[in-house]
Structure 1
Amino acid sequence: MRTITRMYDGLLNLMALVAAGTLIWLMVAVVVSVAMRNFGIQPFAWLFTSTEYGLLYMTMLGAPWLVRERGHVHIELVTAALPANARRIVSRVVAFGCVAVSAILAWYGFELFQTNIERNDFDVRAYFYPRWMLTITFPIAFSFMAIEFGRFVFGKELLHSGEAGIHE
């Protein structure tokens, strides 16, 4: 079991690393595109398309890691006002709701992925790109997010710290 957990954690970290690399690519692509426009050169079509795809990949691959690190935006105003026992209950109920939503989105994302494969859909702009290569990120990312939110439902740690404001 320990080996599976380490492999899972490694995969989650790898997904976050790919998301970080994609963020760097987005910065480079935008700077190159703007520089080309300033010099009167038409930017490459694939440059724009790759940034669109990159936004999707970065968001979907980085989201499960953000859940683990509690890096998603959420407001602690209510949980900070609750007593410790009530805060635990509310935090676990919210995390359970997040598991349910993530699982539903993973399911529908998988159906969309299957539909793209069955129809042999392509995104045709700068180049032919199989649409399933975009939609495969939905079931993967939302499944991992469901697992990560599940850790807050059943694990020792809570999703909410109970501390309102910025604490860094």
Structure 2
Amino acid sequence: MTQTSPTNASRGAVDTLLRTIGWISTVCGWISALMILSSVLITCQMIFVRFVLRQSTIWQTEMVIYLMVGATMLGLPYVQKLRGHVNVDLLPMWLPRGPRTVLALLVLGLGIVVLSIMAWYGYENWHIAWERGWRSPSVWGPPLWLPYLLLPVGFGLFILQLLADLLALLTGRDTPFGLEDK
């Protein structure tokens, strides 16, 4: 009979959690890509309607803006998962392992704090738009709570990926800034 030690069980749970968060971030990346593709197709349709059919467009420009904002917000966790955000790694490369780990923990912690503030205000903005029934002042006039919802959701998912990165660093599953020791 095989016995599972508490350490192995918790290790498996952490691995499952990290894989799940990674999967969520990847799905966000795919949704973001589909939103960008949709905005390109809508832009092509808008050009056709305006310049070939000589008709006015009502919803296309606004929809493209909302899709691009949504793609940006939902793409945040995926880009973080791939370590694709702009960074300057001169200092981490220069530092030895111990101070590099401290710097990585500080950066992740501060990032989580700043993004939590942004997520809170994004939620607050969404909630006001929802409660008051705000609509866009355009002819199309979609409810504004829909695009505003993307702010707290995007920042929340970004925070989730940062928490996964922090957990991976604290449990030794990842190295600080993805750099190996010299």
TM-score (norm 1): 0.82
Write the mapping of 1:1-168 to structure 2, written as runs, cut at 5 A. Answer: 8-34=21-47, 39=52, 41-42=54-55, 44-156=57-169, 157-158=174-175, 160-162=177-179
Question: How many Å apart are 1:12 and its aligned residue?
Answer: 3.2
Provide structure 2 residue ranges, at least 5 long, that are not aligned to the other structure: 1-13
What's the Cα RMSD here? 2.6
Counterparts of 1:138 and 1:14 in 2: how far apart (Å)? 17
Greater C-alpha radius of gyration? 2
Provide structure 1 residue ranges, at least 5 long, that are not aligned to the other structure: 164-168
Counterparts of 1:26 and 1:69 in 2: how far apart (Å)? 24
Q: Which moved more, 1:89-98 or 1:29-38?
A: 29-38
Counterparts of 2:84 and 2:59 in 1: how far apart (Å)? 31
Q: Is the 8 A contact 2:32 2:72 kept in 1?
A: yes
Counterparts of 1:154 and 1:14 in 2: how far apart (Å)? 20
How many residues matched? 163
Question: How many Å apart are 1:7 and its aligned residue?
Answer: 5.7
Q: Secondary structure at the match of 1:129?
A: coil
Counterparts of 1:155 and 1:3 in 2: how far apart (Å)? 12
Q: Is the 8 A contact 1:29 1:47 kept in 2?
A: yes
TM-score (norm 2): 0.76
Counterparts of 2:130 and 2:177 in 1: how far apart (Å)? 39
Question: How many Å apart are 1:141 and its aligned residue?
Answer: 1.3
Question: How many Å apart are 1:116 and its aligned residue?
Answer: 0.8
Over residues 114-153 of structure 1, what are the superposed CA-to-partner deviations in whole Å (9 max), with x where a residue is unaligned? 1111111011314121111111111111111112112222
Identical-pair percentage: 21
Q: Is the 8 A contact 1:18 1:61 kept in 2?
A: yes
